[in-house]
A and B are shown apart, each in its own frame.
Chain A
Amino acid sequence: MAAAATCGAGAGSLRSVAAAAAVDRSSATSFQRKGPRAGDADGRGPRLVSIAGTRPSVRNGQLLVSTGLPALDQLLGGGVAVGTVLLIEEDKYCTYAPLLLKCFLAEGVVCGHPLLLASAREPPARLVQELPAPLLDGSYKKELDQDGCSHPAADAKVQMKIAWRYQLLPRKEVGPVSSRFGHYYDISKKMPQELLETAQWHGFFLPEKMSSPPTAEPCHLTHGYSKLLEFIKKIISEEGVDGSNPQKKQKNILRIGIQSLGSPLWGDDVCCAETCEHSHSLTKFLYVLRGLVRASLSACVVTVPTHLIQNKAITARVTNLSDTVVALESFVGLQREINPLYKDYHGLIHIRQIPRLNNLICDESDVKDLAFKLKRKLFTIEDSEE
Chain B
Amino acid sequence: MFPELNNLLDTTPDKAEQGKLTLLCDARTDGSFLVHHFLSFYLKANCKVCFVALVQSFSHYSIVGQKLGVNLTMARECGQLVFLEALKTSLDVFFQKPAEPHPLQFLREASAENLQPLFAFVREALKPGDDGEATWKYPVLLVDDLSVLLSLGVRAVTVLDFIHYCRAAVCVEWKGNVVALVHDSRDTEDEENDLLLSGLSHQSHLILRAEGLATGFCKDVHGDRSLTYQYKIQDKTVSFFAKGLSPAVL
Which residues of A pack against B, CB within 8 Å?
Answer: 1-2, 4-5, 11, 60, 218-220, 229-230, 233, 280, 283-284, 287-288, 290-292, 294-295, 312-313, 315-317, 320-321, 356-361
Is B183 on the interface with A (CB-CB < 8 A)?
Answer: yes
Is the pair B190, A2 in contact by a Cβ cutoff of 8 Å? no
The 6 lowest CB-CB distance pairs between A and B, nearest first, are: A313-B190, A316-B188, A283-B151, A220-B110, A358-B63, A280-B153
Main secondary structure of the interface of B (DSSP, over half): helix
The size bracket of the interface on B is 35 or more
Is the pair B33, A360 in contact by a Cβ cutoff of 8 Å? yes
Is B185 on the interface with A (CB-CB < 8 A)?
Answer: yes
Is the pair B57, A2 in contact by a Cβ cutoff of 8 Å? yes
Q: Given the complex, which residues of A lie within 8 Å of B87, measured CB to CB?
A: 2, 290-291, 294-295
Is the pair A220, B153 in contact by a Cβ cutoff of 8 Å? yes
Contacts A220-B108, A313-B189, A313-B193 given; 14 further ones with Cβ under 8 A? A2-B58, A218-B108, A219-B94, A219-B107, A280-B152, A283-B152, A287-B148, A288-B107, A291-B88, A294-B87, A312-B188, A313-B191, A317-B190, A320-B183
Main secondary structure of the interface of A (DSSP, over half): helix
Most buried by A among B109, B151, B188, B193: B151
Is B6 on the interface with A (CB-CB < 8 A)?
Answer: no
Most buried by B among A1, A233, A291, A295: A291
For B206-250 the 0/1 string (1 means CB < 8 A from A) is 000000000000000000000000000111101000000000000
Complex-state Cα separation, A361 to B232, whole angstroms: 10
Known: A284-B153, A360-B236. A294 touches B188 (CB 8 A): no
B63 is contacted by which of A11, A218, A291, A320 (Cβ under 8 Å)?
A11
Is the pair B192, A313 in contact by a Cβ cutoff of 8 Å? yes
A230 is contacted by which of B33, B86, B95 (Cβ under 8 Å)?
B95
Is the pair B95, A294 in contact by a Cβ cutoff of 8 Å? no
For B153-192 the 0/1 string (1 means CB < 8 A from A) is 1000000000000000000000000000001010011111
Q: Given the complex, which residues of A lie within 8 Å of B193, measured CB to CB?
A: 313
Considering the complex, give the chain A residue whose CB is closest to the CB of B147: A320
Is the pair B57, A1 in contact by a Cβ cutoff of 8 Å? yes
* A254 CB to nearest chain B CB (Å): 16
Is B91 on the interface with A (CB-CB < 8 A)?
Answer: yes
* A302 CB to nearest chain B CB (Å): 15
Complex-state Cα separation, A304 to B58, whole angstroms: 28
Considering the complex, give the chain B residue whose CB is closest to the CB of A59: B235
Most buried by A among B58, B94, B153, B189: B94
Is B127 on the interface with A (CB-CB < 8 A)?
Answer: no
